[in-house]
Structure 1
């Protein structure tokens, strides 16, 4: 930061309270900084009820008590420019620093707060620090904007897919047959993603296959199978229609376990023929559904990409190192995935003279850039937690982007890091005591019992739930509640028909 070489000057004000200045500009009143803080909070305007309030560099935090009285239902957050005020951090609900290392400020904010809070937030400048640090102030506003826009996109995605995810969870819970759980080991774990760099690693995966536990994300299942590589586990967490194509290609049956998130889109033959290790999001409705049936599942955390879910799952099943293979996180000049790819097999049938394969592939390259950046930013922003145990593995592939503090290693280095005496994670079969008809009745009863809970409404109707939290008028709140009740009743009817 430009002003990092200058000191904050502290002194007592006229009333004896501590005040401070920077380069001759006072950040608080010289006479009564506490009264100044109270006036600041009283003058703030809001036409909705915020869930989160940000103040950009509040310095000595005199405004905080009045802010808590002004917005009692909100989490109050400070965004710091200067570390000289860190002694006052503990009194805030959240504190974010403009200079936060590998992670951008926007990523830190997004990762720390829910989409609902960010989409119902207010941001204010502490006027004196805005004048003292104008350049930093502009950059901070841009970072906050990025976090809020990203939260808006996520909650929009949730609103679009939420009913589909619920129905997927019902199908999942009602149709499970061969259920397995997993016991933690100490071996190396390789996660195979389907980026172009996977291709050059396939000979090495074959060479060292017996020395590691192999997890394939769903899109990597087909290219591994085509090369006669059987993963120990295939993981899928995508609830969209196209996701199940990665699990439903000719000759896909293999001696492997399928770790499937309850919200996933899953081909019917998987339920009939394959062994399934159930996964569930801890903040999702599927947790209640599986618990109602006394089905053991593995809790996972939501991520924009299945590779992120796979990484956190891998870290939970081994005490050894985890290697990310084929995780390019960047658009490629040619195919965006290692071939063969289940979606490409369908897409190429639509190619013709006026809409060629080359134009389609070029278009996908540019269309994927923004999405891949979001995925890449997640790995970068969390790389502090992963460094030392997580590595990106390739045959000396020249990646376009790094993954923060996640170190890149070659297969030669991997051969020196692997342990021949390590214990592999092991699978154990679980029993299902209820027949399918009994399970459907239990699921229907469970849905009815939780349908009025705030958690359920927020999950299946995120936009409606957010609007009612933001609304100030009691009359409009009541109107929103009536509409929500009607939508829930309609949804329950659809779910019962599905069962």
Structure 2
């Protein structure tokens, strides 16, 4: 790796037959690249993440011509000369699989500490084109990570206000006695591998059961003509955008996960729902069954409804392609091609590839506790590789049963967890007093920026004008809107 003098007496360098910079005028090349980037990919106030800048001409030009723009620089080789010394260097061998794995692991750790699904809108990714040819493994990994964070952020921002309103509704709802109907026969559907096979058979019994469906299974059920009676979602979920869109027009019960109502900042996680949106004085808050998944919550609800029988369908709890039952139904694969929720800030709390085999016994144990000596109503349709300790019912037996759906008299049940309304009133008072300084305002401001950016890209001038109005006015409108829930 030898320095070569360009025609303007600056330096360039050649790696694996690729010239990192122009052999004529490296600085002018960098200036043109940056000008084009700022016009097409940069929003005012963003931090630029520079990848593979080589000898540092990009950083030098930014410091000289655009001193108000902040940036972080990452590279994958130590060069004999550089114009910028504060790079994060991750050296690796592109031809060594172990070296590639190590650098991706190191990059993940660094990126997780810097860029999350909450602050991704604050960063603009600048990749020096030649470096992508020289260091494809590392740079492609960074691009995939950024795509994942953008997908998560899109869901977070799109549903942020809905989650906030839903949080208030849940609190008020749980402060009252819950009124639920009693049904004799209930089926709870998950999005396991067997769902596609069993759906045509379930349709034959559609008038005989009350259907509770996990949000991830809604699309498949509706595609086959099975309309859910109740959809269960927890914490919105990383795929809420698609899942809940598919549940349009249905009754949706959106519970919050335990991790969402816990202060997770001590673990270095700053993006859980109530860390960002709700004062800690509100805890505990209505949440899904601790340690369980969407299905755990669905079963918990079913146990309060069913009088004679609960049947689990599509609950396979098995490893498929190194992922657990939590992997979205294959019907979503195309839409989720660039989105992997298993490698995010929540990785330690959800099943991920590295922990699949360790996680499965925990889930199996949870379901076993519900089946053995706890609830004789609970049965599972079709066997699976994982024994849940729950009585299994064959498809033939299921189809031959003469179950008749019967709605008993409505009954009242008092929830285990309740929160006083005064806590919500307190929160709104704090918000009004602090206004722009309050975490809720900070989130909504970020949400507004995202709305404006998206609207500009699709040419929605009305949304741009509406979103660009006085922020204080918008915040006060939302506070008054929430006050309405407390009346």
TM-score normalised by structure 2 residue count: 0.46
Higher relative contact order (CA 8 A, sep 6+): 1
